[in-house]
């Protein structure tokens, strides 16, 4: 392998390790944009919650969120250990704030979770959720509800995180007014590893599924060395306008950055 190519590969590995670990730039990395369902469940740590198979509510096991790490131990379902699929979880601000994607609700009293970890998924009833002091939130609520409606953990995650674009392959229009027919000012992209750019959004107000934001576009600063000691991005442009933060089907077109430290 040519020495120059080897050097480039090493630099890329160092950069990606740094970004996904400390994430001092607050970059929002898109992980999955197709299977977000209708919202999330927040569960308390150190409280075991029953799960059922959805067929007359037969209890098949339980979920347990570990206090020290905030994640979930592998559940035992019908006597079998289940490996949790990463895409069944979403995080806000920090990797220890693990929320369960709710793929479907039945009679507003049962929540389908772990659809990608278990064939057919698992269900949590509203009564069991209440017993465990858990909460259900739509994605719209997570962005627009009053701060005092959230558990302390989610409050901290929201304050710690940056907000970025949660779309792959398409950009999010920044418009003059909160209307899909309004004039476009800019099209905002998610993190792009090819041109090494990303966007931060500061929400100012909202109207329905729309948010009025200050969008800050960042590009890589060629003057910064690798491995970096601080953020390697510099501001390219700032614009204000309206974005459709939540799609008509409830999907979040924006989401929070996540750090491991």
Q: Is 211 exposed, middle or buried (0-12, 13-18, 19+ CB in 10 A)?
A: buried
The first and second tokens of residue 111, run together, are: 């929540």
Question: CA-to-CA distance for 182 and 162, rounded, in angstroms?
Answer: 26
pLDDT tens-digit profile, the chain (261 residues): 444 333 333 333 333 333 345 677 878 888 766 789 999 999 998 899 999 998 778 999 999 998 767 788 888 898 889 999 989 999 998 888 999 999 999 887 899 999 999 999 999 999 999 999 999 999 999 999 999 999 999 999 999 899 999 998 889 999 999 999 999 999 998 887 666 788 999 999 999 999 999 999 998 887 776 666 677 788 999 999 999 999 999 999 999 998 875
How many other β-carbons are positioned within 10 Å of the β-carbon of residue 248?
Answer: 7
Question: DSSP string of 239-251?
Answer: EEEEEE-B-TTS-
Query: Going by C-beta distance under 8 Å and a sequence separation of 6 or more, which residues neighbour residue 146?
Result: none
The pTM (predicted TM-score) of the whole model is 0.86
Going 191 to 195 to 200 to 205, the CA torsion angle's sign is negative
């Amino acid at each position: 392998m040519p020495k120059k190519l080897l050097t480039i590969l090493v630099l890329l590995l160092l950069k990606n390790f740094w970004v996904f670990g400390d994430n001092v730039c607050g970059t929002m990395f898109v992980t999955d944009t197709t299977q977000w369902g209708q919202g999330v469940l927040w569960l308390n740590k150190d409280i075991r919650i029953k799960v059922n198979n959805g067929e007359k509510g037969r209890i098949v096991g339980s979920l347990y969120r570990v206090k020290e790490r905030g994640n979930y131990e592998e559940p035992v379902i019908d006597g079998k250990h289940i490996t949790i699929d990463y895409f069944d979880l979403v995080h806000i601000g920090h990797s220890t704030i693990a929320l369960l994607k709710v793929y479907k609700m039945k009679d507003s009293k049962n929540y389908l979770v772990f659809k990608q970890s278990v064939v057919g998924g698992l269900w949590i009833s509203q009564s069991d959720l209440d017993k465990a002091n858990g909460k259900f939130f739509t994605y719209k609520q997570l962005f627009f509800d009053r701060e005092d409606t959230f558990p302390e953990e989610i409050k901290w995650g929201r304050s710690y995180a940056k907000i970025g674009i949660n779309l792959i392959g398409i950009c999010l229009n920044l418009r003059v007014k909160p209307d899909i027919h309004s004039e476009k000012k800019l099209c905002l992209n998610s993190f792009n590893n090819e041109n090494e750019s990303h966007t931060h959004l500061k929400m100012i107000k909202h109207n329905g599924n729309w948010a009025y934001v200050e969008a800050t576009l960042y590009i890589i600063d060629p003057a910064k060395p690798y491995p970096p000691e601080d953020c390697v991005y510099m501001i390219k442009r700032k614009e204000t306008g309206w974005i459709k933060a939540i799609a008509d089907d409830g999907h979040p077109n924006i989401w929070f950055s996540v750090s491991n430290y």
